Every structure is written in structure tokens, then in C-alpha cells.
Structure 1
Amino acid sequence: MTETTHPASRVADRVAASDWGAVAGELDAYGHALTGRLLTPGRCRAIVGLYDQTERFRTTVDMARHRFGSGQYRYFTHDLPGTVRELREAFYPQLLPIARDWAAKLGRPAPWPDSLDEWLAMCHAAGQAKSAQILLRYGPGDWNALHRDVFGDMLFPLQVVIGLDAPGADFTGGEFIMTEQRPRAQSRGSSTTLPQGHGLIFTTRDRPVASARGWSIGPMRHGVSTVRSGRRHTLGLVFHDAS
């Protein structure tokens, strides 16, 4: 199956139409937030169909081999499919104010320029020059261990995963899970069922947490629970490149 063509503005319009005030509030409170529907079922199926077009990817990772869990994912080359490129470009300016706000709260540098292209050029100059956009495939019994997508010093604090299959119809299980390490307390966990065509924005590494002394760091990790049946595909959008 090849990717179908749609007006580029449709994807950008759907990203922009999200209630970004509410999204920012959810991210501040929990470290993750669902968007509305971004992709139609047809466009989701078109992206899933790219998985077997191996020339579109720079590498394939078998999770069990590396003890990351079970399942498989592929990193796109820099020649991204149109929909993937449009989504990434549409999300960056919406996420940028949140990233800068978090950096200010934590007293960290905020090196991210207004332009995604300029930020990626900075990544490449620092030795992070490989595409980090991911298409993931899980079957029955597959899962993803808790982890962070940190590939070097150049880091954007938010990323997005988009569901490409319909939970309950195409697969069961496979919830997106996050854990947050709390200071002087046990970790807190959460799970999200990712609807087809919707995005989940989540913390790459950590988030600011209000405390009696101001703002502290809340380290977070993400993964995927065991898929019970069917096949689950997701698209991962990362806003920094890999080393």
C-alpha cells in the first residue's frame, strides 16, 4: 500500500485545532496529553502500509534481541513521507512554548529556535544527524520496556505517538504506559488507550513538578503494555535527531 495524498494544510489544521491551553494544562499536571483526531482511518492505514517498504527506513530494531521488550520498529530515513513530515512540522511550533516554559521553571537553557529546520541543523552540528522518526509494529505477546528516547545532549523535552490501529477492533492490550519517579515517594504509573488517528504528547525525559521549594524535576519513562491479540502500529515523532 502506498501513502495517499491529501492537502498538506489538512494535517496542520487538525494539529492547530487542538485545545492547546488544555493540552498544556494536562502536560503540566501529568506529563502527557491526548490530542483530538489528527488522521483519518484511511491515512492511518496508508502509513501502516509503509512498514514493508524497507527502502524508506534506515534501520530495523528487533526489541527482543536488544532486551527492549518484544516487537519491532523501524527508523525512517530523512526522506520522510509527506504526512510524517507535515505532522512533525505542525507540532513543533505548538510544543515550543511549553518546552520553553518548562525550561524556565527548571532553570535550564532553552536552546530551541523558532524554526524546526534550524533546531535540526543544531542537532546535526552536535553529531546527532540520524533520523529518529519511528514506525512501530507489535503482535500478540509483544511489549515495550520503560525507557526514554534520549540520543545525546541535544534534546527536545516533548514527543508524540500517534495510534494507527483501532483498539478493541484491530488489537487488544497494548496500552501506552508512563511512570513518574516522585521525590521521597514511590513511583506513579498511568496508562492510556491510544485511539486510532489520535496523538499522545508526552514527556521525553522529565517535567517540572511544583513543590514547597519551587519547581523540582519529575523523571518519567514510557513503554507499552503487552498486546493480547491482533497487531498494533504506532508512529513516533521525535523532535531531536539521533547520534
Structure 2
Amino acid sequence: MPIFNIQQAQALSEKIQHLDWTLILEQLNQQGFSQIENFLSDDLCELIKADYHHENLYRKTVNMQRYRFGEGEYKYFRYPLPHLLQLLRTQFYPYLVPLANAWFENLNIQRQYPTSHEAFLKQCQQVGQDKATVLILHYQQHGFNTLHQDLYGEVFFPIQMVIVLNQTNIDFKGGELVMTEQIPRAQSKAMVLQPNKGDVLLFTTQFRPKKGTHGYYRVNMKHGVSHLTEGERYSLGIIFHDAAS
């Protein structure tokens, strides 16, 4: 399996830079998610998947059934992260910061996120959050993930990302990404998405502001994965804050 080389890193950095960030941020603001199609090549998806059984890369493995999180398995990478994952985490972050800060300002929450990811991780470390949260998830037939939020501690970033590493209706069936939006004093709204291999999905970690007649209010969101009916599904989760454990 080839390694992630300098030329690939440069090409990926340029791809991130030239994304339509105006549209992406507007979609995140209006609906709580944005899907970026055909972002990661098949080769890079396979490169990430190929590392699944290299146990030295991971600090922790979680059996979802044991903790009643669902049915499947996920593994947290340890520091230092593989270069490809480090690049994705640090180079997406600065484009999301303006929206994150606007959300917190609209909700009158006293937090300002720094422009660099390195500076943000120092804020995490100051409250004892120093464990990597980038993870790879693996589901087989009948696997699923219950609705949840990836917070991990006092300090969190309000947007995260998922990249699906294999192809729906070829490698697996079912396994849709499900998001719910809880509007105060109303029923929950469900959104069901099925990204293709290499697609990036950016979405709300915990909540987003929504403008009403009396100003902004908080809309809470959760996400999960529906039952796989066939095959196996791999995905990469990139959470921008670190964990306490």
C-alpha cells in the first residue's frame, strides 16, 4: 500500500483551499450540515482503511455493543496522527472558525475560538483534554450507531466531519447517516443522508443557533448510523477537540 506523499499532501491542501467555503458555511448555518462530494480519492480512502488492523496506530478500541452505543467497533488514533489525518484536521479547522465564533456570539456564549488548530488544542490541554479523538469506525451486517454527540469534555468545537471510506450499494447497504434536530417545544426533525465513498460530511457537534421572532435560540442535534442490511462500512471521524480520556 503506498504511503501519503508530499505531492498528495500539496494537492489535498490546494483542494481544501479551493472549496466553495461560502456555500459550505451557508449550508452549515442554515441546516446544520454540508456535504462535499468526491473529496477524497479512492486511493486515499483505501490507504486509511488499510491501517485499520495496525494496532500500534490506536490508543483505544471501543466495542459499541459493550457500552450500548450500537453494534460495531471504532478505534481512536494516538498521537502523532498519520500525516493525512493531521492535514485534514488542521487545514479544515481554520475555515470553520468564523462560523463557530458567530454561532457562539449569536447565542451569547462567552467563547472565542483561535484561528489555528494548534492554539485551540492548547485550550483543550489546559482543562486536561489531551487525547486524540480522530477515529475510524467499522460496521458489519446488522451494525448501527445510536444517536449521540461527540463532546468528550468541557472544551469542544461545534462542527465535526465524517468521511465515508467505501461505497454504498456496492460494499454495503443501509448504514445511512441519521441526524436529528430538536427544536424547543416541538417534535424532533430527522435527516437521513447516504454519502458516497470519499464524500466529506461536515455537521453540528452539539447545537447550532436558529433565528426566531425574538432572536436566536439553540437547536440541539444528534447523529448516528442506521442498521446495515448487507456488507461492511468504514468511515473516518474527525473531531477537532481532544478528549480527557
Normalised by the size of structure 2, how large is the TM-score? Answer: 0.96
Structure 1 CA distance, aligned partners of 2:129 and 2:2?
Answer: 30
What residue number does 1:101 align with? Answer: 102
Contact 2:134–2:237 (CA<8 Å) still a contact in 1? yes
Runs of 4+ in 1 over 2 A off after TM superposition: 1-7
Contact 1:209–1:217 (CA<8 Å) still a contact in 2? yes
Q: How does 1:153-232 map to 2 (within 5 A)?
A: 153-232=154-233
What residue number does 1:133 align with? Answer: 134
Q: Which moved more, 1:106-115 or 1:58-67?
A: 106-115
What residue number does 1:66 align with? Answer: 67
Contact 1:14–1:37 (CA<8 Å) still a contact in 2? no
What residue number does 2:118 align with? Answer: 117
**3-state DSSP of counterpart to 1:52:** coil
Structure 2 CA distance, aligned partners of 1:74 and 1:3?
Answer: 21
CA deviation profile, 1:8-64 (whole Å, cap 9, x unmatched): 122222222221111112111211110132211011011001110000000100000
Contact 2:4–2:84 (CA<8 Å) still a contact in 1? no
What residue number does 1:83 align with? Answer: 84
Q: How does 1:36-55 map to 2 (within 5 A)?
A: 36-55=37-56
Q: Does 1:5 align with 2:8?
A: no
CA deviation profile, 1:114-164 (whole Å, cap 9, x unmatched): 111111011012100111001010110000000000111111000000111
RMSD: 1.1
Contact 2:176–2:226 (CA<8 Å) still a contact in 1? yes
| AA aligned opposite 2:176 | E
| AA aligned opposite 2:95 | Q
How far does residue 88 in structure 1 lie from its aligned partner after superposition? 0.6
Contact 1:2–1:50 (CA<8 Å) still a contact in 2? no
How far does residue 109 in structure 1 lie from its aligned partner after superposition? 2.0
Structure 2 CA distance, aligned partners of 1:194 and 1:94?
Answer: 22
What residue number does 2:151 align with? Answer: 150
How far does residue 194 in structure 1 lie from its aligned partner after superposition? 1.3
CA deviation profile, 1:76-113 (whole Å, cap 9, x unmatched): 00111111011111100111111011111111123311
Identity of aligned residues (%): 37
How far does residue 195 in structure 1 lie from its aligned partner after superposition? 1.2
Q: Where do 5+ consecutive residues of structure 1 fail to align?
A: none
| AA aligned opposite 1:139 | Q
Structure 2 CA distance, aligned partners of 1:193 and 1:3?
Answer: 28
Structure 1 CA distance, aligned partners of 2:40 and 2:61?
Answer: 25
CA deviation profile, 1:174-224 (whole Å, cap 9, x unmatched): 111100111211000001111111100000000001111110000010000
Structure 2 CA distance, aligned partners of 1:228 and 1:90?
Answer: 35
Structure 2 CA distance, aligned partners of 1:2 and 1:132?
Answer: 25
Q: Where do 5+ consecutive residues of structure 2 fail to align?
A: none
Contact 2:4–2:83 (CA<8 Å) still a contact in 1? no
Structure 1 CA distance, aligned partners of 2:233 and 2:6?
Answer: 24
Contact 2:37–2:196 (CA<8 Å) still a contact in 1? no
**3-state DSSP of counterpart to 2:242:** coil
Structure 2 CA distance, aligned partners of 1:87 and 1:229?
Answer: 30
What residue number does 2:235 align with? Answer: 234
